[in-house]
Amino acid sequence: MNKTHNNKYSVVSLFSGCGGLDLGFKGNFSSLGKKYNSRSFEIKWANDFDEKACITFAKNFSDPIVCGDILQILKGNYPDLLSPKMPQKADIVLGGFPCQEFSLAGKRRGFRSKRGILYQSMVETVSRLRPAIFVAENVKGLLSMDNGEAIKTIVKDFSALGYSVVYKLHHAADFGVPQSRERVVIVGTDKKRNLPAFEYPKQTHSKENWINLKQAIGDLVNIPEGAIQNHYWSKAKMFKGTQGNSIVSKDKIGPTMRAEHHGNIEFHWDEKRRLSAREAARIQTFPDDFIFYPSTSSAYKQIGNAVPPVLGWHIAGAVERFLDKYLV
C-alpha cells in the first residue's frame, strides 16, 4: 500500500476552514465523553482562503496550512509568497468546497457564482495529484439545485478524470452528532488502479438514541461566561420569526449550526442567553481543547462552516478500511 514513511496515508486538504474534517481524519480526540482513536492519515498540505480560520487551524494542528485563494495557487500566481508548496501527489484529497451557494437557506445561486464553481479547483487538484480516493462534502441543497443538474455536473466532471464517483446524504445525528445536519458526501475512487466504488460507513445511532442537547451541553448551563475557552455568546436581542431566533430544546438534538448567523445563533433552553461559541462547538463535536480564534463572531462562523469531526472520523474510518483492503 502507498503509505508515507510513518505508515500513514498522505492527505491534501482543500477548503479546510478551521479543520473539522481534518480532525476527523486524524482522530485522537475526545468529544462528548467518548474517545476517538487515531486514524492512519497525515495532512501533508491544507488550504483555505479565510485568514481567521487559518489561524485557528494553525494553532490547533501541527500540520501546515497555506492561506490563499486556491484558484490563484493552482494558476501559479503565488510563486514566492505561499509555503509550503502543494505536493505533487497524495493518497487522498479532501474538500468541503463552499456550500452557501447551494444551501436551501441561502440564495441558491449555485454555479452562477464564483464560490459555486470552486469545486472545479478540487477537480483540478484531483487531476494533478491523482489520489487513490477523494472525499468532498456539501449541503443537502446541492442535490436539488437546478433540478438535480448541479450534482450531475459535479459527478460528470470528476468521473471524466477516471474516477468511480458515488454520493450519499448523511444525517450527522446518525453518527453521534447532537445536531440536525444533513450533508452530501461525494467520494471518488481511481478506476485506473482498479479500485471499486466506495463503501460508506454504517450509521451508529438511530433516531431513538440520538444524543440530545442536555447530554451534549447540559454541564455548561451554569458555567459563567468566559470561565472556559470560547464560552462567550452573542448579545443580539430576539427578533421573532427570523432565522436563528428560536429557543433550543434540551430534550432534542440541536439545530444546524450555521456560518451566516449574523449574531442570531439560537437561544439556550433557559431563555436567558444565546448559545455560546463553546456550546456550538460541542454541538459540532469539537473537543473542548480545540480553541477558536480570534473572536466569538469568527468562532461562530468557523464552527458553522466546519464538518463535524465525529462525522469526519466515521467517514475516515471507511476510507481507511477501503484503502487497507484495496490499495496495494
Q: How many CB atoms lie within 10 A of CB 290?
A: 24
Report the 3 state secondary structure along the chain. Answer: CCCCCCCCEEEEEECCCCCHHHHHHHCCEEECCEEECCCCEEEEEEEECCHHHHHHHHHHCCCCEEECCHHHHHHCCCCCCCCCCCCCCCCEEEECCCCHHHCCCCCCCHHHCCHHHCHHHHHHHHHHHCCCEEEEEEEHHHHCHHHHHHHHHHHHHHHCCCEEEEEEEEEHHHHCCCECCEEEEEEEEEHHHCCCCCCCCCCCCCHHHCCCHHHHHHHHCCCCCCCCCCCCECCCCCCCCCCCCCECCCCCCECCCCCCCCCCCCECCCCCCECEHHHHHHHCCCCCCCCCCCCHHHHHHHHHHCCCHHHHHHHHHHHHHHHHHHCC
Helix axes 149-159 and 119-129, enclosed angle (nearest 10)? 20
- Write down the catalytic residue from 18, 54, 67, 99: 99
Beta bridge partners of 254: 179
CB-count exposure of residue 155 (10 Å: 0-12, 13-18, 19+): middle
User: Is 99 a catalytic site residue?
Assistant: yes
Catalytic residues: 99
